[in-house]
């Protein structure tokens, strides 16, 4: 499993490098990268999440879904608590610590490791992540409860896709083979489009400033090593009976910082350069940290 994860990360990093190179060479306009980002957020990602629910309704799948729903929320509360203790009143760093790139990196990784079925158990975590982002997350950044956006929670494409997916799953709504094939083809675009767009955002960063900023290195340690170890410990309670849920959530919660952190930092006049640098460095070092976390889990959980 660790070897497969490492290989998939190498492929992702090649795509990141391609995106950065294309941006440097001016092969695509900035607007093109932005348009691809919109396509990614509002079309590809929701389709991937929705298609994750197209699995047979069995007692095991239903139990996995419920376990993931509870375990995801519990682990997110744990991460929020630890991040708050570490960063105190630094709202942007707390936000960055919590919100991983579990959609754009987590989804293709768990598919590669565990098949399409893993999206089914990952979906509750993605839903909780978006809910907390537009409620508690925004309040943490702005320090103003009035900035909380319930509308953005309800209308978020991933939340809508989750609701539709749950309905299809529990109501046994049949999906025509042609439609399923269409959704599959669009969903397959997730990893290349996500990595190329993310890589383009790294092209103009100051490497020197990034390497000399201790706040960046602290975030690498906290986001990639400290918080995943807490999550790993918490998931040990379900790893014996629900290993697919445990491994899927561990991979998702070990992912680097999500690109939306830089977007929100810009929107709310926070340090955008710092956020982008932290995203880049946590993404680069995740090639070490993510296989390490899975390897530790393999050692601990196999003895249960």
Domain count, the chain: 1
Per-residue pLDDT tens digits for 73-97: 999 999 999 999 999 878 888 888 9
Q: Write a three-state SS string for 242-302.
A: CHHHHHHHHHHHCCCECCHHHHHHHHCCCCHHHHHHHHHHHHHHHHHHHHHHHHHHHHHHC
User: pTM for the complete prediction?
Assistant: 0.88
User: What is the domain-level CATH number for residue 154?
Assistant: 1.20.1530.20
pLDDT at position 267: 65
Q: Tell me the residue range of the domain where 145 lies.
A: 2-301
Q: Could you read off the pLDDT tens digit of each residue along the chain, which spans 304 residues?
A: 778 888 888 998 899 899 989 988 888 888 888 888 888 888 998 998 898 889 889 999 999 999 999 999 999 999 999 999 999 878 888 888 988 888 778 888 888 888 777 888 998 998 888 888 778 777 777 777 777 777 877 888 888 998 999 999 999 999 999 999 999 999 889 889 888 888 887 887 888 888 888 999 999 999 999 999 999 999 999 999 999 999 999 999 999 998 777 767 766 667 778 888 898 899 999 999 999 999 999 999 988 7
- Report the phi/psi class of residue 37: left, alpha or beta, with left for phi > 0 and alpha for psi in -120 to 50: alpha
């Amino acid at each position: 499993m660790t070897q497969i994860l490492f290989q998939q990360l190498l492929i992702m990093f090649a795509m990141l490098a391609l995106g950065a190179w294309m941006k440097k060479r001016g092969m695509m306009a900035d607007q093109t990268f932005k348009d691809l980002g919109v396509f990614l957020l509002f079309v590809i990602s929701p389709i991937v999440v929705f298609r994750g629910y197209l699995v047979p309704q069995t007692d095991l799948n239903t139990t996995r879904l419920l376990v993931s729903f509870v375990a995801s929320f519990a682990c997110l509360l744990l991460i929020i608590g630890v991040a708050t203790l570490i960063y105190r009143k630094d709202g942007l760093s707390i936000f960055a610590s919590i919100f991983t790139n579990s959609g754009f990196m987590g989804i293709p990784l768990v598919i590669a490791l565990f098949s399409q079925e893993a999206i089914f158990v990952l979906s509750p975590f993605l839903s909780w992540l978006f809910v907390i982002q537009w409620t508690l997350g925004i309040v943490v950044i702005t320090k103003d409860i009035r900035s909380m956006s319930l509308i953005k929670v309800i209308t978020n494409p991933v939340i809508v896709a989750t609701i539709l997916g749950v309905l299809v799953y529990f109501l046994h709504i049949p999906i025509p083979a042609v439609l399923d094939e269409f959704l599959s083809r669009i969903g397959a675009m997730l990893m290349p489009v996500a990595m190329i767009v993310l890589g383009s955002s790294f092209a103009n960063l100051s490497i020197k400033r990034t390497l000399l900023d201790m706040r960046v290195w602290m975030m690498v340690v906290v986001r990639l090593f400290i918080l995943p170890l807490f999550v790993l410990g918490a998931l040990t309670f379900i790893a014996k009976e629900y290993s697919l849920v445990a491994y899927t959530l561990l991979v998702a919660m070990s992912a680097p910082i999500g690109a939306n952190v830089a977007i929100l930092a810009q929107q709310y006049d926070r340090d955008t350069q710092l956020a982008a640098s932290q995203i880049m460095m946590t993404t680069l070092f995740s090639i070490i940290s993510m296989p390490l976390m899975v390897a530790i889990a393999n050692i601990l959980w196999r003895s249960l």
